[in-house]
């Protein structure tokens, strides 16, 4: 029986230690549950404080588009400067052209069509003068050739034009 009593005492001691450990573990579990609930509340508050991902995505898209538009504006501004410089050069060139005596009858603000029409008329006049001068040149060459034939004619030798041996009325040029 002593052994049983010893065994019972031993088991009671073990039971008491186990109960203490169980109580301590239960308290730890309760403390951990409370800490878990507190952490869940903190996490929930933190998530509510974070900005919406969809909103952040929209902001990023807006920012990227803004940067892209800024780059495009820079390129467009450079093109505008280039075209303004070209326009300035064209205006200067136009002013030089209109200063030519050929355009003296045109107003200084004459447009492209007016200038083009004026140039066509001037071209036609020049072509007409060229034609008349060509006709005169041809006529003068013929006279010059006739004069050289007349000077080379000798009585009894054949005429290079008609073949006659007599030359009663030689050609006399009156101031070619």
pLDDT in tens, 119-156: 898 899 999 999 999 999 999 998 888 888 888 888 88
Torsion of CA 161, 162, 163, 166, to 10 degrees: -110
pLDDT recorded at residue 40: 95
pLDDT recorded at residue 36: 96
**Up-side HSE of residue 81: CA atoms within 13 Å toward CB?**
6
pLDDT recorded at residue 156: 81
10: enclosing H helix or E strand? helix 2-49
pLDDT recorded at residue 174: 65
pLDDT recorded at residue 176: 53
Cβ atoms of 159 and 153 closer than 8 Å: yes
Q: Phi and psi (nearest 5°) for 113?
A: -65, -40
Rg (CA), the chain: 59
Contacts of 143 (CB under 8 A, 6+ apart): 173, 176
Across the chain, mean pLDDT equals 88
Predicted structure pTM score: 0.42
Band (91; pLDDT cuts 50, 70, 90): confident
């Amino acid at each position: 029986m002593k052994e049983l009593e010893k065994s019972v005492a031993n088991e009671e001691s073990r039971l008491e230690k186990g109960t203490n450990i169980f109580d301590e573990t239960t308290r730890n579990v309760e403390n951990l549950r409370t800490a878990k609930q507190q952490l869940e509340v903190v996490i929930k508050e933190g998530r509510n404080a974070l900005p919406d991902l969809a909103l952040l995505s929209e902001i990023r898209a807006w920012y990227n588009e803004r940067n892209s538009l800024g780059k495009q504006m820079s390129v467009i501004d450079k093109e505008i400067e280039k075209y303004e410089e070209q326009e300035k050069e064209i205006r200067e060139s136009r002013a030089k052209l209109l200063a030519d005596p050929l355009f003296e009858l045109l107003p200084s603000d004459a447009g492209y069509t007016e200038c083009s029409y004026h140039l066509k008329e001037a071209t036609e006049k020049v072509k007409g003068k060229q034609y008349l001068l060509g006709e005169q040149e041809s006529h003068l060459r013929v006279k010059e050739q006739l004069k050289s034939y007349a000077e080379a004619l000798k009585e009894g030798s054949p005429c290079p034009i008609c073949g006659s041996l007599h030359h009663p009325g030689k050609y006399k040029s009156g101031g070619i």
